[in-house]
Structure 1
Amino acid sequence: MPDQLRKIGETILAGAGVPIQEAQTIARHLVGANLAGHDSHGIIQIPTYIDRMKAGHIVPGAKWNIVQESATTTVIDGHWGFGYVVNERAMQITIDKAEKSNVAAATVFRQGHIGRLAAYPLMAAERGMIGLIAADSGRSPKAVAPYGGAEARLGTNPLAIAVPSELDGPMFIDMSTAAVSMGKVKLAAARGRAIPEGWVVDKDGAATTDPQSLFQGGSLLPLGGSEGYKGYGLAVMVEILCGLLTGLGFGVEPTGRHNDGCFMAVFKVDAFRPLAQFRQEVADLAHFLKDTKPSHGSDGVLYPGEIENRNERRRSQAGIEIEAATWQKLQALAESYGVADQMALA
């Protein structure tokens, strides 16, 4: 069940040397991704994070700081800390500033992987504001080929936007500017499954359904299929906002150190029109879209974010499936840190 999985994540991370409050924050985000149905950004990430800690690429307990700010802007140096911890605090600062000044924005640099992007703008939506975030991976190894190219030059460069509404579940979009996230290919590899054509090209630029090809010199494709120049263009803009505006730069540095650069913004709805009216009209729009006649073979129209809400409700009750390969890695880590007994009791 979700609570048990959170406890398992906390226990392993704490055993690896992560301060308990940070371990709790990270596990909450990871299991939140599992609940939403995005297992690629869930508990499967823990072994990777611990590997990065061992390499010195993530610094648990890092003392992040604000290096520049105004009434409406903030620049934060994460000092290689866990991205979940740094980025959550950055979004909270941005929300607080928007509460006073109607709009606010921030950049964050030198932090670890921030996981599922939607978690951050949803914080703003819960406060009656529109939240936006984009992220890139700084100068760490790249995964996505530019449109027309056969080698990786960009990150998956995702973006997410969330808005307040009167819907049962939140209205938001959370998308990679690549055809798919790196994590979903890793998940397919862990589960021994083929991937759809159009996700990856091999080292020679040929289409493939083998997820292992990505880790053998292949590349992810940009979003859009035959119209992939659209995803490519979005990825370049995210690279500028999150790589250049933050000062992280582009390309790959020799160390290969992963570091997520972020740009985020928050808009107070009341600064533009009454919040209650806006919330109701967002719900009305969603229902207008859902009332569309279904296309052939379709189960009907969903509003953006609805599938994640359905997944969360179902998995909260039915539990979260963890593939054997990931579970074995978690068990091995628990044993190596002497916390296997605690994991069994979770």
Structure 2
Amino acid sequence: MPIVTADRLTRIGVALLKAAGASDEEASAVANGCVAANLAGHDSHGVIAIPTYIDRIRCGHIVPGAKWEIVQESPTTAVIDGHWGFGFHVNAKAMALTIEKARSANLAACTVFRQSHVGRLATYPLMAAREGMIALATADSGRSPKHVAPFGGREARLGTNPIAIAVPSDLEAPFYLDMATSAVAAGKIQLAVARGESIPKGWIIDAEGRATTDPRDYRKGGALLPLGGSEGFKGSGLAAMVEVLCGLLTGLGFGVEPTGRHNDGCFMAVFNVAAFRPLADFRREVRDFAHYLKSTPPSEGSSGVFYPGELEYMREQQRRRDGIAIEDATWERFSALAAEFKLAAELDLA
């Protein structure tokens, strides 16, 4: 697999997306968001997705330059219609608006609908954490094709339905949670197929409801399993609640719409820490709490405790230094797109 610097990957992503019709602002939002996911070690949400986004532009499922519209608003809430624009771009603007509302009203929330894939969900709560606020975001895929079987079932009825929460602190690495309510993100199955790797038992079932370690079984009628293994009713229940917040509260609905158009619905809420206690005291205490968690002696076979977000930060430092490994299949798609757009020489992908 080629090893590529973050800056070069971003430049390639921006150029290919612009050639496919994205504006400078949209292409930058998507490419930077994808590369940030690679840097954090979440390759399933990284640049591997860019060719898929270009395919969706071509079939009309993503609309470059789509209008960003506030369809309902109060001092503390907003409902935003993305009109099928890039989720990275639409959702970031929605979070920025929610942060501004929370700055004046202390609490604010928004829903977003009719947008494409939003990428790594932590991106949006982290925007608020940098402004001294706590934020929560949840996302689902509306009536797009489903990926996750509810606990006890064999057919997909739920999305991977992630939850992300970020908190301001005095730590070097940001303190945040970003998790799917499925055993893994669907993109990790795609990544395993692209790399020719098997997957752990407990990630998916095949079309007959049997456990399998072959990621190709997923595309043959299989389904992801909910988070929790034998206690999967917990992940399944969390996923159902995310569906309510992001599918029903947004009006996207549930089930599967026949065209298969990807349609991320999001619910985001922001809380101004200063409305509850002095921000400096809170940031310091979050740092002390993280150090308290890490101070426990490690269990057998463990390298110790990492607070939420710490491992991603460590991976980012390493990958910024050493580069990012890109699957051969993804690199080949980049090369093919660059040739098609007559950018191969410019991007050194000939």
Structure 2: which 5+ residue stretches go unaligned? none
Equivalent residue for 1:94? 98
> What is the one-letter code of the residue matched to 2:324?
I
Pick from 210, 213, 217 the counterpart of residue 214 of structure 2: 210
Output the amino acid matched with 1:179. Answer: A
Say which SS state the counterpart of residue 63 (structure 2) adopts. coil
In structure 2, the partner of 1:337 is 341
**Contact 1:144–1:152 under 8 Å retained in 2:** yes
> Which among 10, 22, 26 is matched to residue 22 of structure 1?
26
Deviation, structure 1 residue 345: 8.3
Deviations 1:231-280 (A, max 9, x none): 00000000000000000000001111100000000000000001011001
Contact 2:106 2:272 in 1 (8 A): yes
Which residues in structure 2 correspond to 1:297-312 (within 5 Å)? 297-312=301-316
SS of the equivalent of 2:209 reads coil
1:18: Cα distance to partner? 1.1
Distance in 2 (alpha carbons) for counterparts of 1:179 and 1:277: 36
Preserved CA contact (<8 Å) 2:338 2:349: no
1:75 aligned to which of 65, 74, 79: 79
Give the Cα–Cα distance (whole angstroms) in 2 for the partners of residues 339 and 97 of structure 1. 42
**2:326 aligned with 1:322:** yes
Equivalent-residue separation in structure 2 for 1:181 and 1:291 (angstroms): 30
1:103 equivalent among 103, 107, 111 = 107
Q: Supply the distance in 2 between the matched residues of 1:249 and 1:207 (Cα, whole angstroms).
A: 30
- Alignment partners' CA distance in 2, 1:334 and 1:283: 45
Say if 2:102 and 2:270, in contact at 8 Å, map to a contact too: yes
**What TM-score does the superposition give when structure 2 sets the normalisation length?**
0.98
3-state secondary structure, aligned to 1:5: helix
Secondary structure of the equivalent of 1:240?
helix
AA paired with 1:166? D
Does the alignment pair 1:294 with 2:298?
yes
**Match for residue 129 of structure 2 among 125, 129, 134:** 125
1:160 pairs with one of 160, 164, 174: 164
Deviation at 1:136, TM superposition (A): 0.2
Partner-residue secondary structure (3-state), 1:293 = coil
- Letter of the 1:145 counterpart: A
Q: Which whole-Å CA distance do the structure 1 matches of 2:97 and 2:22 have between them?
A: 24
For residues 306-332 of structure 1, what are the alpha-carbon distances to aligned partners after superposition, in whole Å with 9 as ceiling and x for unaligned? 000001111111111101111001110
Corresponding position of 1:135: 139
Instruction: Give CA-to-partner distance per residue, 1:36-92, whole Å, 9 cap, x none.
Output: 000110000011111111111110110120000000000000000000000000000
Return the match for 2:175 from 164, 167, 171.
171
Question: Residue 69 of structure 2 aligns with which residue?
Answer: 65
Which residue does 1:233 correspond to in 2? 237
- Write out per-residue CA displacement over residues 88-127 of structure 1, whole angstroms, 9 at most, x where no aligned residue: 0000000000000000000000000000000100000000
How many angstroms apart in 2 are the aligned matches of 1:342 and 1:27?
17
SS in 1 for 2:113: strand
Residue correspondence of structure 1 range 247-286 to structure 2 within 5 A: 247-286=251-290
Q: Which amino acid aligns with 2:209?
A: G
Pairing 1:40–2:14 present: no
What is the count of residue pairs matched by the alignment? Answer: 346
Q: Secondary structure at the match of 2:89?
A: helix
Query: Which secondary structure state, in structure 2, belongs to the residue aligned with residue 4 of structure 1?
Result: helix
Q: What letter corresponds to residue 266 of structure 1 in structure 2? A: V
Percent of aligned pairs sharing the same letter: 65
Alignment root-mean-square deviation, CA: 0.9
Deviation beyond 2 Å, 4+ runs, structure 1? none
